[in-house]
Amino acid sequence: MITKPDQTIAPEPLLSVQEMYAADAHAIKCGVSGATLMESAGAGSARAIMDRWSPRPAIVLCGPGNNGGDGHVIARHLARAGWPVRLASLVALDRLKGDAAIMARQWSGTVESVTADCLADAELVVDALFGAGLTRPLEGVAAALAETARARLTVAVDVPSGVSGDSGRIEGETGAVAFRADLTLTFHLRKPGHLLMPGRRLSGEVRVIDIGIPDTAVETIGPRTWVNGPALWRPLLPVPDVEGHKFGRGHALVVGGGISSSGAARLSAISALRAGAGLVSAVPPRSATLVYASHLTAVMLKPADTPQDWTALLEDPRHNAVLIGPGNGINQRTRDFAIATLDADRAAVLDADAITVFADEPKALFKRITAPCIMTPHAGEFARLFNVTGNKLHDTREAARRSGAVIISKGPDTVIAAPDGRAAINCNAPPDLATAGSGDVLAGMAVGLLAQQVPAFEAACMAVWLHGAAAGVAGPGMIAEDLAPSLPAVWKNLRQDV
């Protein structure tokens, strides 16, 4: 197995709110004034608006902080370009401070108050009320405008007001509201809240505006969250060696369940082969062997009923990666096989029933994880083992730290986190993946990559991205069985420049 590093595209970091503050501070330390940063942010935002739409009656809603300062700059540049623009402020201008006050003084037009009916004549609304750092729910007139603005074209500055830049949540209890944007203009780099639900849905198209923060800011900050994609893991992409053979690509074992649930493990096993494992064996109960044999060709069969049967398979060092869970059942066999696998220090993927079977005693699982391990819970399975606060990125990181496993927290905004704090957010998966069996395919891809000795975090990130890319190739109307056959086209594109 050989890999060749790709040096052309760097992975895209995502900055938390605090990290963005640090990036601004770094720029100022390097000699770029705060006023210059704000002018660049507002001017760049105005250009982006003008690039997308022709002039039309617009209103810029300005808040009490730097987000409002950006709004003043946007209004000034739109007015200079001949747009019919009004500016409404949530606070009196004498309450503005710092750079926001400087920019407010450069606006020569009328300043209206933000009121519930101030959008009446506007066709386009610029939401510059609150930025990514807002930690309280929208109230009063701001909450009312979040609702009425939905009937108009809306541009959000940084993030839609009411959305957390860190978590993507709508701040507040159930029933709280946030603006919904057609276009969100953010600065320097995207935030996690642009990719996490519901922030991703509420942000619309997200454009990043270069405001002059030096590239050295990222090096200084050292962010630990990235957008998942080839740039993040391409140097570790497994590529067959011209002198290699199938045994050098690993042998994955996929534990299967009984006759009525055999499809899950069969999907996983075929997907492990398509992900590049040299050999894959399904491990069904003996009573289900004929069902598996009638559906599988390249996948071998190694039936096992008891812990002793399973331990004998694990004694063969060539069986270097194991998947347990899909269709296995919440039973003693699943629990025993999972414990034996972890005690044998095999690289493992735990999915579905292999997660739920430990819901009554998670520590019995966690204490055994010492070898590379990936867990792939959906939201319900996640909640059975881990704490849920509503901040998916934070919760997934904490789950990885607590368990010692790489966690793939599945959903429309899948988050992958490692015990050492690294995390990635995936955004290439189409909604068509919400179909029976797609999770079994993902688990199979992950174990196939582990079998090729891809490190667990990168294997998890690769599997999630490949899963989404395969769904894109399969197209609308796809079912789980379409995913593995779509992988060769994805692999071909990935390997073109490796």
**Whether pLDDT at 497 is above 80:** no
The confidence score (pLDDT) of residue 170 equals 96
CB atoms within 10 A of CB 2: 11
The confidence score (pLDDT) of residue 5 equals 36
Contacting residues for 355 by C-beta, under 8 A, at least 6 apart: 325, 375, 376, 377, 381, 384, 385
The mean predicted confidence, pLDDT, of the chain is: 96
Pair 168, 200: CB distance under 8 Å? yes
**Whether pLDDT at 368 is above 60:** yes
- Cα separations (Å) of 310 from 340, 363, 423, 487? 8, 23, 33, 30
Q: Mean pLDDT throughout 75-96?
A: 96
Pair 72, 50: CB distance under 8 Å? no
The confidence score (pLDDT) of residue 6 equals 43
Q: List, in order of start, the domains of the chain with CATH numbers.
A: 17-223 (3.40.50.10260), 230-495 (3.40.1190.20)
pLDDT tens digit string along 183-197? 999 999 999 999 999
Q: Which residue has the tokens 């096992």?
A: 304
- pTM of the full predicted structure? 0.95
Q: Mean pLDDT throughout 255-278?
A: 98
pLDDT tens digit string along 200-238? 999 999 999 999 999 999 999 999 999 999 999 999 999
Return the percentage of the chain with pLDDT > 90, whole number. Answer: 93
The confidence score (pLDDT) of residue 1 equals 32
pLDDT tens digit string along 105-138? 999 999 999 999 999 999 999 999 998 988 899 9
Cα separation, 464 vs 375, in Å, equals 12
| pLDDT tier for residue 361 given thresholds of 50, 70 and 90 | very high
Strand 415-417: give its sheet, edge to edge.
Answer: 225-227, 423-425, 415-417, 406-409, 373-375, 347-350, 319-324, 251-255, 279-283, 300-301
**Whether pLDDT at 286 is above 70:** yes
The confidence score (pLDDT) of residue 46 equals 98
The confidence score (pLDDT) of residue 496 equals 82
The confidence score (pLDDT) of residue 174 equals 86
- Cα separations (Å) of 365 from 256, 325, 336, 405, 463? 20, 14, 11, 10, 23
What is the DSSP track for 70-111?
A: HHHHHHHHHHHTT--EEEEESS-GGG--HHHHHHHHT--S-E
CB atoms within 10 A of CB 294: 8
